[in-house]
Chains A and B, each alone.
Chain A
């Protein structure tokens, strides 16, 4: 089945050690999103790609970067993880952005722990 796949499911990193989370999709969607979800909170949008066009949310820290080398893959890089960056990171896709009738497809998430 076509889907959004996130690897790994669980990631442990050390304070200050760069970490990369990956997302792939077989839906051939144009838009890929990264959300951060802290414990008992709602998901919060960090940024998204529309094709190769990168769109950062205004309050996303500079510590978070993203790369999209092709349609299928998108990466979330955390340059210097702090304890406050421990969270579930969710990848999602949609065919187009800002289309009110479109639905988003989410991966299962990567749970990041920072020691």
Chain B
């Protein structure tokens, strides 16, 4: 699976929007961009995923660059409960991709009250 690059950590204030970047310059045309997050002492949980178009759900929005070499996870109004490690993961569509998810180091999001 193609590699992703994320900042090690980011800090934001409560009730403000948060933009979490992810670079994936070697993404292939059929790779989906997935985001998961892991709250302290919990298993990872699915946040959102997309292919080319921007996506919205109740948790977040995903903005995908036109060339697909980067994406941004947007939390519209961060709360203290959003403090977690956020993982940006590519899932290969080539048929030869790995089973399961291959996690990178992720971004540790800190929310200040």
**Are A and B co-members of a single complex?**
yes
Cβ-defined contact, A104 with B46, below 8 A: yes
Assuming the contacts A98-B95, A107-B43, A109-B43, asked whether A44 and B103 have C-beta atoms less than 8 A apart, the reply is yes
Q: Is chain B's interface secondary structure helix, strand, loop, or mixed overall?
A: loop
How would residues 79 to 102 of chain A score, 1 for a CB under 8 Å from any chain B CB and 0 otherwise?
A: 000000000001110100110111
Cβ-defined contact, A101 with B32, below 8 A: yes
Q: Any chain A CB within 8 A of the CB of B102? A: yes
Please, could you name 28 A-B residue pairs with CB atoms under 8 Å apart, sorted by A?
Answer: A6-B43, A31-B99, A33-B100, A35-B100, A42-B87, A43-B44, A43-B101, A48-B100, A91-B43, A92-B44, A94-B100, A97-B99, A100-B91, A100-B92, A100-B93, A100-B97, A101-B32, A103-B49, A104-B44, A104-B100, A104-B101, A105-B46, A106-B43, A106-B44, A108-B41, A109-B42, A109-B43, A111-B41
